[in-house]
Amino acid sequence: MDEASPRIVQAMNLPDPGERGYACTAVGTAARLNGRLTPELFAALRAEGPDGRAEDAGDDTPTFVPYRDLPPWFRRRWVHAVVCGRLENWRASTADVIEGGRRTLRGRH
């Protein structure tokens, strides 16, 4: 892990978006295989941003790296993503219930 980390970080800084995508995939794979990431890899994920090429790696990392081992900024990002996801699910469920009620009322008239 410590040997591959500098190479992955270097690849994440390449100009070609496709090559950077492969590097981001390598970050997710490193998290899955090792159960941890180096501080340099976390810094590279942070630099890439939550909506950048590293989105999937960022989403997968908390699955494989224990919460206690995540840096504070990553914990906040993860909690934000989970809360937003839950709120969106609740909104969609509520909309489905309302639409079902409307259909039922229309059918009775």
Answer yes or no: pTM beyond 0.75.
no
pLDDT in tens, 39-95: 999 998 888 876 666 667 777 788 899 989 999 998 988 888 889 888 988 888 888
Rg, Å, the chain Cα set: 20
